[in-house]
Chain A
Amino acid sequence: MTVALSGKEIASQIEEKFPGSVIESSQESLVVKTDSLLPVAAYLKDTDNLKFDYLNYITAVDYYSYFEVVYQLTSLEHNHTVVIKTRCHGRENLSVPSVTGLWQGADFQEREIYDLMGIKFEGHPNMKRILLWEGFQGHPLRKDYL
C-alpha cells in the first residue's frame, strides 16, 4: 500500500534546502509559501529519496480570509505520497505559480480552479475557463458567490 509520508519530516528536509519556505506542517500535510512553491515542487520531484513523479490532483479551498491550493503528490517509484498546500490571501487578483512545467496533468485542473475559484496560475500556457463559458460573471465555487 502507498505510504503517506509525514508532512513534518518532509518539511524539515525542505527547510534544510530552502530556509523559511515552510509556513507550517503537520502529520498529514505541509504548507509552503507561494513564492517558493515552484522550487520546492521541483525539489520534491527530482530528489532521489522523494521522487514525487506523479501529481494525483490539485484542488482549492475557500477559507473566507484566504484560499488554499492543495496538491497531492505520489512517487510511483517509492510508492509513497504527500500533501502540500499553499495559501493566497485576499479576494481579487490571486495568483499561484503553475506546476504544468513539472506535471503535465496539472493543465486542466489548474484551469478548473481558475474557472470555479478565480485563482490565476502564473506561467500556465492556456489560462482560461474550462467548464463555464467565456464571459461568465464570477467564480461559482467561492463562498461569497450567490
Chain B
Amino acid sequence: MEVSSDREYIYSSTELDRYEGQVIEELKASSQESIPDPDEWLDEELKRNILLTTVDAVINWARRSSPWTVICFPACCGIEVMGVSGPRFDLPRFGMDILRASPRQADLMITAGTLTWKMAPNVRRVYNQMAEPKWVIAMGACAISGGIFASSYSVVPGWNKIIPVDVYVPGCPPRPEALIHGIRMLQRKIARTPVVPDLPQLFTER
C-alpha cells in the first residue's frame, strides 16, 4: 500500500491538541487547593490499639515468619528445593520468597545435597558468615548421614560434622511435602526458643 504523505501520520490533528489543552485547563482550574490528609484519627486509634504480649512471642513470630534461605545447594536435592520454591508448592507462603545469594542476609541454610570434603571448608565459611540467629535444615539422606556415599573417600558423612543441624528431613530426595513439614517443624522450634537469655544461667556452668 502506498502511503501518500507521512506527515499526516506522525502529527496529531489540531482538534485532538485542542481537546488535550481543554483537559489540562480544567484539571488546573479544579486543582488549586491541596488535597487534605484526614489524620485526626491517628491519636485515638493509637489509644484503642495497644496490645500487651511477651517479647518472646513477638520476636519469635517475626523470626519464624520469614526465614530467608541462603543459596548453598551442592547437589541434586537443590532441584527439589527449586520445585518447592516454585508456584506449585509455594514456599513464599512461609515468608521464604527470597533465596538469598548472600549469607549475610540469610537466616536459614537448607543443606540440599552431598557435601564433599573439598567443599566442606567453604560451607563452614558460608555458615559462619550468616548473621545470628541462624538455623539449618539437613535435607535428604546425604545431608543427614552421607547417604549412599557415606563410606566414600571424598564425602562428609553428614553435614552435622561441619555445622549444627536443627531439623533432619529424610528422603532421597525428600518429597516437597516432607521439606515443607521440616520447615513447619523448624518454625515450631523457633517459636519455643527463649529470646532473652536467662541472666543467671549465663554465669553458671552448662
Contacts and interface: CB of A to CB of B under 8 A. Distances in A.
Interface of A: 131-133, 140, 145
Contacts of B117: 133
A132 B119 CA distance: 10
Q: How large is the interface on B (under 10, 10 to 19, 20 to 34, 35 or more residues)?
A: under 10
Question: Would you list the 7 A-B pairs with minimal beta carbon distance, nearest first?
Answer: A140-B153, A133-B118, A132-B154, A132-B118, A133-B117, A131-B118, A140-B154
Contacts, number: 10
B154 to A, nearest CB: 6
A133 B122 CA distance: 13
Interface string B34-71: 00000000000000000000000000000000000000
A140 B154 CA distance: 9
Contacts of B118: 131-133
Contacts of A132: 118, 153-154
A140 B116 CA distance: 14
A140 B151 CA distance: 13
Contacts of B154: 131-132, 140
A47 to B, nearest CB: 41
Nearest to A140: B153
A141 B118 CA distance: 17
Nearest to A133: B118
10 contacts: A131-B118, A131-B154, A132-B118, A132-B153, A132-B154, A133-B117, A133-B118, A140-B153, A140-B154, A145-B153
B117 to A, nearest CB: 7
Given A132-B118, A132-B154, A133-B118, 7 more contacts: A131-B118, A131-B154, A132-B153, A133-B117, A140-B153, A140-B154, A145-B153
Nearest to B153: A140
A72 to B, nearest CB: 26
A145 to B, nearest CB: 8
Interface in B105-150: 117-118
Contacts of A140: 153-154
A146 to B, nearest CB: 9
Nearest to B120: A133
Nearest to A129: B118
